[in-house]
Amino acid sequence: MTLSRNVAVPGMVGEYEAFGALIEGLTPEQWATPTRCEGWSVADVAGHVVGQLTDVVNLRLEDLGTPEVTARQVGERRGRTAADLADELRESAKLGSEMAASFDDAAWEGPTPGGAPGTLGSGIEALWYDTYLHADDIRAALGITSVRGEGLAASVSHIADFLTEQGWGPADLRFEGLGSFRVSGGGGRVIDGDALDFVLAATGRKDPTALGLDETVNIYRI
């Protein structure tokens, strides 16, 4: 179940602010560091996050999230500095915040612009999740400690919905401090432990067998 508008909108805005602060002071050496996203440097990860938000606020929504569009977002920003992308992010985040402030509950539960699957709310939650996860990709590449907070809860929520759509489960995701998230209606096995480890396993970044799971938990396996 998608998080509420009153949680997801300020959470997303805060996540973009944190992402800008993370990247803006990176050195050229850090900017070029390879990440666990195959073939992507820190700069490429940032280019995708920034490019995705810029596309969204300018309503360039067709095929958003596909490999082709993601590659375009990264390619358009290659050669730009960390400070350049931090500036673009802040400009786009300001527009995004203003747009999100106009949403009411009916719009939140309604369809996304452009006919993308899911509701407007689930789309906002997906942006929050993607930004949080890619910030962790950058931190992991640079040896910076992971951040655990509202973005982690949003990521578990998004993954629970994604797994439900894929017919995985039923299961209950119960992580300390985050509450419970149902997959496929819940009532099946209980998955607990470390929430970030689960997110990494569910996105192909960590071996799921260490958590007693198998490769079917990877939401990108298809």
In this predicted structure, what is the pLDDT of residue 113?
77
The answer to whether 172 and 182 have CB atoms below 8 angstroms apart is: yes
The string of pLDDT tens digits covering residues 174-187 is 999 898 999 999 99
Same domain for 128 and 58: yes
- The verdict on 195 and 125 lying in the same domain is no
With respect to residue 36, please indicate whether it lies within any of the assigned structural domains: yes
202 or 3, which is more confident?
202
**Helices (H), strands (E): how many in the chain?**
9, 3
Q: How far apart are CA 197 and CA 24, in angstroms?
A: 27
Query: Residues 84-111: what's their mean pLDDT?
Result: 93
* Whether residue 101 has pLDDT greater than 90: no
Residue 204 region by backbone torsions, left for phi larger than 0, else alpha for psi between -120 and 50, else beta: left
Strands 179-183 and 171-175: antiparallel
Q: Are 155 and 177 in contact (CB under 8 A)?
A: no
User: Does 200 score more than 90 pLDDT?
Assistant: yes
Which residue, of 142, 168, 190, is where some domain finishes?
142
- Whole-angstrom distance, CA of residue 181 vs CA of residue 159: 9
Identify the pLDDT of residue 117: 74
Q: What is the CATH number of the domain that holds 198?
A: 3.30.1050.20
User: How confident is residue 124, by pLDDT bands cut at 50, 70 and 90?
Assistant: very high
Q: Which helix (H) or strand (E) segment is 175 a member of?
A: strand 171-175
| CB-side neighbour CA atoms (13 Å) of 155 | 26
- Condensed to tens digits (0 to 9), the pLDDT of residues 77-90 reads 999 999 999 999 99
Express each pLDDT in 5-61 by its tens digit: 999 999 999 999 999 999 999 999 999 999 999 999 999 999 999 999 999 999 999
Task: Tell whether the model's pLDDT for residue 217 goes beyond 80.
Answer: yes
- pLDDT tops 80 at residue 222: no
- pTM exceeds 0.85: yes
Measure the CA–CA gap between 127 and 124, rounded to whole angstroms: 5
What CA–CA distance (Å, rounded) separates 112 from 4? 16
Same domain? For 70 and 155 the reply is no
**Cα-only R_g, the chain:** 17
pLDDT tens for 140-170 read: 999 999 999 899 999 999 999 999 999 999 9
Q: What angle do CA 141, 221, 7 make, to 5 degrees?
A: 65
**What range defines the domain where residue 97 resides?**
5-142
